[in-house]
């Protein structure tokens, strides 16, 4: 199978990417385009599904065009963000935009389900903490706010599943994406009828669940012609982006940790068995099914990580790379400036969707470079809090591997290594989610005997970052202050959030 080529299609928060690789895991080409995300001033955000498909088809054509031969593609699979999805009618017609995963408009529906079922019961079944972003709440929001759309809906597609359906006509999801719905009983490996019923949703709209890396179907003839490939190209079942990244990163053994730095940042530990809810309930971590058979994961993270870096760059009107160069000249500790990186709330280890970001300690000696350094340090402290909590849960520290666009910023890596106080292994590619999907395609097509062989083919360490003792000391001294930021500011942030909601409600009623 040495001449077999594979493609992983990654529908991310910000970008859509197609990665082509050979059977040895060597990357041939990565094509990337911005995702068609629409954001409004009131905090709502959504994707236009037909535009998503056109974007996906564009990057696929580019990746296929980079292959040595037009008939070289053997299989492809799709990975995507979780929670978000596409409501469709009987014939697959799109009925409504795909509400973005981080959109919190469904907070009232989340509160209602919590009241009916109970937080601990929901967590024990689904492994998901109380957050308004999960699929079950988005569907309930549609039922209450778009009743005509809800009445016509016959199928729900997670974003990866929608692309796979457009590719091959199969309607299916995998356990790692199903786990992001808050309707999936991951311990039993099935949809949870008691939750679906409590949410007043028809079970018939939920897709069948198939193993990650199993065959989904062959390309539709018209799609094969559009992409310029054979019709017998196989589409494999993919998975959630962060969990696919864990496969390509070799984070499959108990205690191993993946730090995946994109617009959002995922911090995930692999486990051999699913920890009980008593060990993870209060931490804000999600527990779910890995794309590797017989493995589970514990997942937390930062809602807006790389997004915070881009935000501060826009805020001060300096390009990201130039701003990072300026920040490197600021001493550790940013001369007393701290940043709480909760621009879109907090997932873990504090569970608070309504927390907000904050600069604390701002003085007239601070400039744009100080703001940038404080953002990087705040993000590193937030990530370190997640890592410490993960290691308490798993009980065994393993390797620490990093991937994602954030690894392209050397200053951030140095700050992270100092915050963690340990060496970091940086993956050779930042596109591990797409690579993981390509490896799953190879498993589905029989290019690899199993997931373990696929992982070995894809795993490559690019560099090792050692912590600088001087920076370690400065970060350690600042740590206690950082840990007090969230609990000190949370009451004020909740009051501000309530005030904003009242203003938005009045404005909507007036219009």
Residues 425 and 448 sit within 8 Å (Cβ to Cβ)? no
Element (H, E) at 258: strand 257-261
Averaged in consecutive runs of 10 residues, what is the pLDDT profile of the chain (511 residues)?
86 95 96 94 90 98 91 95 96 95 94 95 94 95 97 97 97 97 97 97 97 98 96 97 94 91 91 87 90 94 94 96 97 96 91 92 97 98 94 84 92 95 92 96 97 96 94 92 95 91 70 62
DSSP 362-406: --TT--HHHHHHHHHHHHHHHHHHHHHHHHHHHSS---EEEESGG
Task: Quote the CA–CA distance of 242 and 32 in Å, as a whole number.
Answer: 18
SS (H, E, C) 270-326: EECCCCCHHHHHHHCCEEEECCCCCCEEEEEEECCCHHHHHHHHHHHCCCHHHHHHH
**3-state secondary structure at position 493:** helix
pTM of the model: 0.86
Phi, psi of 469 (to 5 degrees): -55, -35
Q: What residues pair up with 218 in beta bridges, in sequence order? A: 234
The per-residue pLDDT for 70 is 67
Residues 412 and 471 sit within 8 Å (Cβ to Cβ)? no
Q: Which of 246, 258, 236, 235 is nearest to 291 (CA)?
A: 246
SS3 content of the chain, % helix, strand, coil (to 5): 45, 20, 35
Spell out the residues 6+ positions from residue 14 whose beta carbon is closer than 8 angstroms to its own: 34, 35, 37, 262, 263, 307
Domains recognised in the chain with CATH numbers? 250-430+460-510 (3.30.420.40)
The per-residue pLDDT for 1 is 45
The per-residue pLDDT for 500 is 84
Residues 72 and 22 sit within 8 Å (Cβ to Cβ)? no
Q: What residues pair up with 54 in beta bridges, in sequence order? A: none
Q: What residues pair up with 47 in beta bridges, in sequence order? A: 37, 98
Q: What residues pair up with 252 in beta bridges, in sequence order? A: none
Q: Which of 313, 297, 467 is nearest to 380 (CA)?
A: 467
The per-residue pLDDT for 2 is 56
């Amino acid at each position: 199978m040495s001449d077999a080529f594979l493609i992983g299609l990654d529908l991310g928060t910000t970008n859509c990417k197609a990665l082509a690789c050979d059977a040895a895991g060597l990357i041939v080409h990565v094509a990337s385009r911005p995702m068609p995300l629409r954001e409004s001033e009131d905090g709502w955000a959504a994707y236009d599904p037909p535009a998503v498909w056109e974007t996906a088809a564009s990057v696929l054509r580019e990746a296929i065009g980079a292959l040595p031969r037009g008939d070289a593609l053997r299989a492809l699979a799709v990975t995507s963000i979780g929670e978000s999805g596409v409501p469709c009618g009987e014939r697959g017609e799109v009925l409504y935009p795909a509400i973005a995963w981080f959109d919190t408009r469904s907070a009232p529906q989340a509160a209602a389900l919590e009241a009916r079922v109970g937080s601990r019961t929901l967590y024990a079944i689904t492994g998901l903490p109380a957050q308004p972003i999960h699929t079950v709440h988005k569907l309930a929001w549609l039922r209450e706010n778009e009743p005509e759309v809800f009445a016509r809906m016959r199928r729900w597609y997670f974003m990866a599943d929608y692309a796979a359906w457009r590719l091959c006509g199969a309607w299916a999801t995998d356990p790692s994406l199903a786990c992001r719905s808050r309707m999936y009983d991951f311990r039993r490996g099935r949809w949870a009828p008691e939750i679906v019923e409590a949410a007043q949703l028809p079970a018939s709209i939920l897709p069948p669940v198939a193993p990650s890396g199993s065959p989904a179907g062959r390309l539709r003839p018209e799609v094969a012609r559009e992409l310029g490939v054979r019709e017998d190209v196989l589409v494999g079942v993919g998975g959630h982006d962060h969990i696919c990244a864990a496969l390509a990163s070799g984070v499959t053994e108990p205690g191993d940790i993946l730090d995946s730095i994109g617009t959002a940042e995922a911090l995930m530990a692999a486990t051999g068995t699913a920890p009980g809810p008593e060990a993870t309930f209060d931490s804000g971590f999600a527990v779910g099914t890995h794309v590797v058979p017989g493995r589970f994961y514990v997942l937390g993270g930062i809602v807006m990580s790389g997004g915070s870096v881009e935000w501060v760059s826009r805020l001060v009107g300096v390009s990201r790379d130039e701003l990072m160069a300026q920040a490197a000249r600021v001493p550790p500790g940013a001369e007393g400036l701290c940043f709480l990186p909760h621009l879109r709330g907090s997932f873990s280890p504090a569970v608070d969707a309504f927390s907000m970001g904050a600069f604390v300690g701002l003085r007239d000696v601070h400039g744009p470079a100080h703001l940038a350094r404080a953002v990087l340090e705040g993000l590193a402290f937030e990530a370190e809090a997640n890592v410490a909590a993960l290691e308490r849960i798993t009980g065994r520290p393993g390797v620490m591997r990093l991937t994602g666009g954030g690894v392209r910023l050397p200053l951030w890596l140095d700050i992270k290594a100092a915050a963690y106080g340990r060496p970091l292994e940086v993956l050779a590619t930042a596109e591990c989610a797409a690579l993981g999907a390509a490896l799953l395609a190879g498993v589905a097509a029989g290019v690899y005997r199993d997931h373990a062989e696929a992982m070995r083919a894809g795993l490559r360490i690019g560099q090792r970052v050692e912590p600088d003792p001087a920076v370690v000391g400065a970060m350690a001294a600042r740590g206690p202050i950082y840990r007090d930021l969230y609990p000190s500011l949370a009451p004020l942030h909740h009051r501000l959030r309530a005030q904003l909601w009242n203003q938005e409600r009045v404005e909507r009623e007036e219009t």
